[in-house]
Structure 1
Amino acid sequence: MGIFIQLLIDGLSTGSIYAALALAIVLVNQATGMINFAQGALAVLSGYIAFALLNAGLPLILAILGSILISFVIGAAVERLLIRRFERGDPDTAVVVTIGLLTLITGVCAWLWSYNNRIFPSLFPNETLELLGAKVSLRSLGTFVVIVAIMGLLQLLFVGTKLGLALRAVSINPQSAAFSGMPVGRLLMVGWGLAAALGAVAGVLVAPQLTLTPGMMDNALVYALAAVILGGLTSPVGVVLAAWIIGVLENLAAVYIPFIGHDLKVVVPFLLIVVVLVVRPQGLFGRKAVVRV
């Protein structure tokens, strides 16, 4: 029983990392209708910005807050100067642009800071406590709590605020939103800025666990995209729950299904995705899109 609880807790902790990126992807999609494959690279850049501010003498909490603020500006600038030229165009072109942006940002991070592993301090103490026979890391518990708080705030943003409703309106029909007097351009910039700021949170949560490297978010991005597909693009709560499901299931499968083991555990979430897409294409928590013809 202790082993099962340990695997469950570790899976929730790992899933929280996936959830942070998945929420940023959902935020961009809700604001612009695009899937941002560069979200992981933006999170890495945010981590390096926090690392640079830390080395400049700022306390850890101020370095993280500064990174979040700078990341918001970078995200807004990327949308204004690059992405806007491809929004509402061919979706395939937009995908290629975000993949190219991922490669560019990763290369810039490697050029400025090299591929050497950098040690980034954790915001939470590196201690453990006993829970039903399992050891729970306070860092993992802190990450879990942060993601739950972000999930709630993001859900509140989209459902209960004028800004969130405006972002959704712009995503669904930018022309009608513009005719209604909404500042479409500024809303798109805000959407990308908020997603980049959320990516900064993901970066500073992941860096202490994986060490800071240009490619540290590559695997996490794959799982985050899987969580987005499984949970549904329209539901922040859904993608977080899906990320936790993925984290827990791959841990349990690695231990309790012998022919899978740790080498093939990555297959588990993708098999689950195939099943979900066949039964419920909009994801477990997503809404069906109704198109009038």
Structure 2
Amino acid sequence: MAITTTGRPDAPPGGARDVLALRRRRSAASGLGVVVALLAAFSVYAVLDGGFQLYLQRVADGVLNGFLYGMVALALVLVFKATGVINFAQGAMGMVGTFLAFTFAEKGGLPLVLAIALAMVVSAGAAAGIERTLIRPFDANNHLAITIVTLALYLALNALAALLWGFDPRGFPTLFPHGPDDFFTLGGARVYYTSLGTALLIVVVVVVLQLALSRTKLGLAFRCVSTSVESSRLLGVHIGRTVQSSWAIAAAVGTLAGCLAAPTTYLDPTFMDKILIYAFAAATLGGLDSIAGAVVGGVLVGLAIALLTGYIPALSGQFGLGCAFFVIIAVLQFKPAGLLGRRSQERV
């Protein structure tokens, strides 16, 4: 594969490109400023209502939950950047990968770290096969057909998991210390080592992916395809192989996210469904084409849900899902590119 270009395909000249980049930064800064201002205003009410220690505890819980949402959102972003399609089967793929890790650890006797790593490899291989057999035969511009395929795949994977493992909930072990005394206090808030370790691991994954996409040959091809499929084809980029790699990486990331989320709940064929909805909101808020935006959006969604449901009793229960849907609708209405996303420009 040979790529000989000094900029993005169909990119504007240098001066115009700098102006567009400046406008994107200003737009992202203004959007983040509005969100931060809203959270700050509500935080004042929260501190006055329940005290600083309770507020800090809920902020810590919201941020740590948000990292999990951002991890799943990251998997969604990886596929969207390469195909322009939301993979509705991403949660089911991560769920199956988590069940594989559980089986490798419980039945195969592997250490949990090796079981998760093996499940990630198997999930990546399966996703590459799915892309080659179910996705690639369709026209890449026929987004509706590919979306319907991902919905069908979601139903099929849920049925397969129910057939193989049943609906009985299972406890999933964690990679980090998780005893009742395995925590430290920060300003009066309890931060458990398992939550902190999960957040740090997610940050490491995001940094590694960002470096891989910006410094490697595959990353350059990936960015070319996400910008313009036709121009990438003219440059000699293997489109199918690049998209296949995005599916494989997303499946591995989704499996890791499932393995990190499963200890906080019970492992069953539906445990990723709610997390996936929060991840949709996170990816939409942060920007469907932004890796960093996925994590930023996840943290903001986690904070919003933790604070609103914690301090407004009428919004408890299932309001978290309603909040996620509200975020999706509001972002699509007022800022479709998200906080850190890039506006698309089409020639007509």
Q: TM-score if structure 2 supplies the norm length?
A: 0.80
Q: C-alpha displacement at 1:86, in angstroms?
A: 2.5
| Conserved 8 A contact 2:56-2:189 | yes
Q: Distance between the aligned counterparts of 1:292 and 1:82, measured in 2?
A: 30
| Conserved 8 A contact 1:230-1:283 | yes
- Structure 1 131/90 Cα, relative in aligned 2: closer, same or farther at 3 Å? same
Q: C-alpha displacement at 1:230, in angstroms?
A: 0.8
From 130, 135, 138, the counterpart of 1:83: 135
- Return the index of the structure with the highest Cα Rg: 2
Cross-structure match for 1:11: 62
2:196 matched to 1:145?
Answer: no
Q: Distance between the aligned counterparts of 1:133 and 1:286, measured in 2?
A: 36
Q: Deviations over 1:54-89 (max 9, x none)?
A: 121111111111111111101111101111122514
2:114 matched to 1:59?
Answer: no
Question: 3-state DSSP class of the match of 1:189?
Answer: helix
Question: 3-state DSSP class of the match of 2:315?
Answer: coil
Cross-structure match for 1:74: 126
Q: Distance between the aligned counterparts of 1:154 and 1:59, measured in 2?
A: 25
Q: Distance between the aligned counterparts of 1:6 and 1:86, measured in 2?
A: 48
Greater shift, 159-168 or 199-208, is seen at 159-168
**Partner amino acid, structure 1, of 2:143:** P
2:90 matched to 1:39?
Answer: yes
Q: Distance between the aligned counterparts of 2:316 and 2:109, measured in 1?
A: 44
Cross-structure match for 1:23: 74
In the TM superposition, structure 1's runs of 4+ consecutive aligned residues that sit over 4 Å from their partners are: none
Q: Distance between the aligned counterparts of 1:263 and 1:71, measured in 2?
A: 31
**Partner amino acid, structure 1, of 2:83:** T
Q: C-alpha displacement at 1:288, in angstroms?
A: 0.8
From 153, 168, 190, the counterpart of 1:101: 153
Q: Deviations over 1:243-262 (max 9, x none)?
A: 11111111111122243234
Q: C-alpha displacement at 1:28, in angstroms?
A: 0.7
Aligned residue runs from structure 1 range 1-293, under 5 A? 1-54=52-105, 55-126=107-178, 127-293=182-348
Q: Distance between the aligned counterparts of 1:265 and 1:114, measured in 2?
A: 27
| Conserved 8 A contact 2:79-2:86 | yes
The count of residues paired between Structure 1 and Structure 2 equals: 293
- Structure 1 265/73 Cα, relative in aligned 2: closer, same or farther at 3 Å? closer
Q: Give 5+ residue unaligned stretches, structure 2.
A: 1-51
Q: C-alpha displacement at 1:121, in angstroms?
A: 0.9
- Structure 1 137/79 Cα, relative in aligned 2: closer, same or farther at 3 Å? same
| Conserved 8 A contact 2:71-2:294 | no
Q: Deviations over 1:24-74 (max 9, x none)?
A: 000111122221010000101111111111121111111111111111101
| Conserved 8 A contact 2:274-2:321 | no
Q: Distance between the aligned counterparts of 2:101 and 2:328, measured in 1?
A: 35
Q: Give 5+ residue unaligned stretches, structure 1.
A: none
| Conserved 8 A contact 1:255-1:262 | no
Question: 3-state DSSP class of the match of 1:82?
Answer: helix
